[in-house]
Each structure stands twice: as structure tokens, then as C-alpha cells.
Amino acid sequence: MSKQVAVILSGCGVQDGSEIYETTLTLLRLDQLGLGYRCFAPDIMQHHVVDHLGGEVVEGESRNVLQESARLARGNIAPLDELEADEFDAVILPGGFGAAKNLSNFAEAGSDMEPLPELVEALAAFHEARKPIGLMCIAPALVPKLLGPGIAVTIGHDPGVAGAISSMGGLHRSCGVEEIVVDFENRVVTTPAYMLATRIGEAATGIFKLVERSDELMDIWFVSTVKKQRPW
């Protein structure tokens, strides 16, 4: 049986949900590596709806995060509260403002933000089991509140977001768009993606590295955890 990765989405579209290219590139590289995956999203209403042509909030319109995420997942998606870490070997969070608006209130509250309780519960189980956790774009800003202080992450080199991460107890590491930051002790892998990318190829390089490194960490987890329990 192939390794299985949970992918947590936050809607559909960079301004109010998951970044479409980041999600697609993540799923593409998972498939190229022969890794199985399942998408999840919270069954909640979006913070707001943004017209992606004009960039303005659409007053009076509301959309469901799970239903919008199903567009990206081609319908193959489940509610976030059904995610069981025991059934997966790693978890990845693409970026997009949905991470800062729907999976948390970081876009409004900054360092005083609170992540969605369902997300905290889901990632805590992966973290406790020492399974790899990948985050990209703005999503790494949630790490101090999701997993605790002292974990190294990157969002690139935006001083405002980096400062918020530091004030929450996180360790921000400046990083180029095509690179990753790995906190090996905590099994956390991050990349800037569209926090810096100006071309899809730039985003792809870093995202592919994140998926590949997560795959390597899954192998390390298997050797250090499963084989110890199965001496034969």
C-alpha cells in the first residue's frame, strides 16, 4: 500500500480560499511520486467572498469552505473533522488567504490570531505522532499557534508576517522562493510559494521540494517508529 497524505484546503481561490496553483502543484507532485492523497476542508462558511477579477469583497454573498474546496478536489473531499491522523503518513496545507481567513483569523488579528479548533486538533495528532507536516505560502504563519513555539518556518522574507511569527514564539527563517526550510526535530517543512513567486515555475520548484522532503521524512518515520514495533 502506498504512503497516504492528507491535504487540507480552505476554499477555492487565492483571495478567499486555497491558492489554486499551489494546491494543483502539490497534488501533481504527490501523484508523480506515487503517493496517495485525500483532501479535507472544514464544513464552515467562508470569512467572505472576494471577486477575483476586481479584488473586492462581494457584499451579501456567502460560500461554504468545504463546497468551494470540492472544486479543487474534483468532489473527492471530506470534512476536516473526519480526518484521522492514524490513516495518513503526512499532512500538507497549501496557502492562499483562506489559510489566514478561514482556517484562522490571522488576516484580521495578526499575532493575536486563533486557528480553527478542528485544524488544531487534526495537526496536533500528526505532530504528536512525529509525522511530517508541510505548509506553504501564508500557512506557515499559523504554526506557532497550531504546534507550539520554537519551530522554524518560512514565509519568504515579508517583515510584517515574519515579525508576527516571531512574536507568537515561532522561529522565522528567510528563504528564497525555490527553497524550503526544514525543522527536522518537529518534522515541519515550509516553502514561500506565492508569498514570493512571480511565475508558476518558481512556485513549482519549492512546492515540489516540500513534497519530496515530506516523502523522505515519511520514510524516516517508518524506520524509526514502525520497524521498532515490528522487529521481524
Helix (H, G, I), strand (E, B) or coil at 4: strand
Take residue 116 and report the three cell numbers written for it. 480553527
SS (H, E, C) 52-114: CCCCEECCCCCCEHHHHHHHHCCCCEEEHHHCCHHHCCEEEECCCCHHHHCCECHHHHHHHCC
CA distances from 177 to 102, 154, 198, 208 (A): 24, 10, 9, 12
**175 flagged as catalytic:** no
Q: Which candidate, 174, 77, 83, places its Cα nearest to that of 124?
A: 83
The CA distance from 125 to 134, in Å, is: 14
Q: Which candidate, 109, 19, 25, 125, places its Cα nearest to that of 68?
A: 19
Which candidate in 12, 39, 137, 175 is catalytic? 137
**Active site residue ranges:** 137
